[in-house]
Amino acid sequence: MKRFIRKALGLALISAMLFTMAGCGASEEQNSVNIGITDSLGGVNSLTVDQTWINKYAIGLQFLPLVDLDGDLNFVPMLADSITTDDNINFTVHINDDAKWSDGTPVTAEDVEFTFLRLASPVIGNPTMLLYAFEGVGDDGFVEEGADSVEGVKVIDEKTIQFTTKYPIAITTFENTYAFYIHTLPKHILKDYSEAELMTLDWFNHPDVVDGPYILTEYDVDHFISYKANTDYWKGAPKISNLNFKIVDSSQIYAGLQSGEIDMTHHTMTAIPQEDYENIEALDNIDVVYGSPVTNQSVFIQTKNITDKRVRQALVYAIDRNKILNELMKGHGEVVDGFLSSAGPFYDDSITPMPYDPEKAKELLYEAGWDGSQTLRFYVNSGDGAFVNAAQVMVAQWAEVGIDVEVQTVDLATLMTIAGTTDYDFFAVQYTYAPADPYPDVSWLLGGEDSWTGYGDDEINQALEGTQTAGSVDEIRDYYSIVDKKVQEDVPMFSAYIISAQGAVNKKLKGVNADVYGVFTNVQDWEIVK
């Protein structure tokens, strides 16, 4: 049930000249939309990517997930038109009868099975799916090399497939953990390639058969991703002929929106500098939408390196999170302890965040025998300009209580590589815990020595298991309250703040659901109105 980060940040430094490069030349087209983002792209192979938000969307525009989340945090059909269960163990997925590939071939349950088996391949070794919850899949999340079937995945008929888990999981967990991230691939195109060949297959760089609304034409992991419309899209040909992600430095967003070279941004992929918020609000050509507070500026502590919880508590008491939120984030957000924000149904507002108390921090450090000689390594995402500034404020406040911290700024891809090791003391990244089902993320992040925190706790494990069998929202909330209170006590992570991020859409665009979730669910209906 573990999951690597799938949320968005990152930095790609480019010059303004890139707005007119051939790779992004679609911006010169009259029927094009350019989305400005500050993430860096790990890749476009859906079998090997890290599943940050940019990877999910870059792939999902071509290969649909089974379901997606809409702006109201409901799971809505994409490739599947229904997912049902009677026992929270057997999940029946029905593929939309109209779903077809761009070459006219129907999308079938065998395509879904084929994709699942490749995601579970030990040769491909995708670390993000962790499919060990399913019958027949090993505890490491993989099946045998070359497996052509697995006990937990059964094709019922051409359009129906059944998934069987080893233990009960909530249907929202099945949807959020698996149906949300399985981007079905065309078996009839890829079946003759070995698993090793699929890892580096050039076909993924310019696929000719998709079931989504757009087809990738060209990309550069640091600069852009360009698509053309799939005119044979089974839900209807997109009205926008060209779609481009422009990967830019956060300082370029305002100028791009002002000039029209950027048509829109997105809450989870675009880190707009706080100092530009008011300027963007004043633009005549732009509608601004502030998203719900769902993006957590999480700080993950490697508890193998910072073993004393009193030191970890001191790190939180020593910083003035409300001041940072108000001064650097213009108050757009909130301060909480733990994982859950007020945007979700399981938030417990009775948990009072640890206050700014530098004297308490000094007291805890003294009790822990902290002598100030150790320098802690704090890795920060260079693409998030606001938090780079916040980190410097935090470092100064830590210094005041005797904690020496060295900040190292790296891009998202490098940060994710570091996160897969224990070679850090703590790092910060924006992490959007799906309010509809935070279980997969929380269970992974508190999942013991192999997680980013290296932390595990039996009380937390029992509470998380309870969320999967609870019968009401109130009962689920009580279980998550146990988790957040324990996290507040032991501090394997803390929330610097939760962001209510700014999003922007050019007024010429119609039909865009400019929200944190669901922005691309009906991308085929977007249009430019002059």
pLDDT digits (tens, 9 = 90+) for 29-52: 579 999 999 988 888 999 987 768
Q: Quote the tokens at residue 443.
A: 């269970």
> Rounded to the nearest 5 degrees, what angle is found at the Cα of 35, between the Cα atoms of 30 and 36?
125
Q: Is 473 exposed, middle or buried (0-12, 13-18, 19+ CB in 10 A)?
A: exposed
Site of tokens 């497939």:
161
CA 282 to chain centre: 30
What's the pLDDT at 401?
98
Instruction: Supply 235's token pair.
Output: 């839900």
pLDDT score recorded for residue 396: 98
Cβ-based burial of 77 (10 A; exposed 0-12, middle 13-18, buried ≥19) = middle
Protein fold of 63-193: Dipeptide-binding Protein; domain 1 (3.90.76)
Cite the DSSP H helix spans in 179-305.
187-190, 195-199, 253-259, 277-281
- Yes or no: say if 71 and 266 are a contact pair by the CB < 8 Å rule: no
Q: Which two tokens stand for residue 389?
A: 């500034």
Fold assignment, 295-499: Dipeptide-binding Protein; domain 3 (3.10.105)
Q: At what angle do helices 473-490 and 309-317 cross, to 10 degrees?
A: 100
Torsion over CA: 288, 67, 430, 293 (sign): positive
Q: Residue 387 in 3-state DSSP?
A: helix
DSSP letter (8 states) at residue 165: B
Residues in the chain: 530
CATH number for the region 1-61+212-291+502-530 comes to 3.40.190.10
Residue 338: C-alpha distances to residues 262, 395, 447, 454, 470 (Å): 35, 21, 15, 16, 21
Sequence-distant (6+) residues with CB within 8 A of 333 are: 293, 325, 497, 498, 499, 500
Domains in the chain: boundaries? 1-61+212-291+502-530, 63-193, 295-499
Q: What are phi and psi of 246, to 5 degrees?
A: -105, 115
DSSP class of residue 317? H
The answer to whether domain 1-61+212-291+502-530 and domain 295-499 are alike in fold is no
Distance CA 400, CA 312 (A): 16
Given a contact cutoff of 8 angstroms between Cβ atoms, the answer to whether 407 and 393 are in contact is: no
Q: Which residues, given as ranges, of the chain have pLDDT below 70?
A: 1-29, 51
For residue 16, what pLDDT is reported? 34
Could you give phi then psi for residue 278, rounded to 5 degrees?
Answer: -65, -35
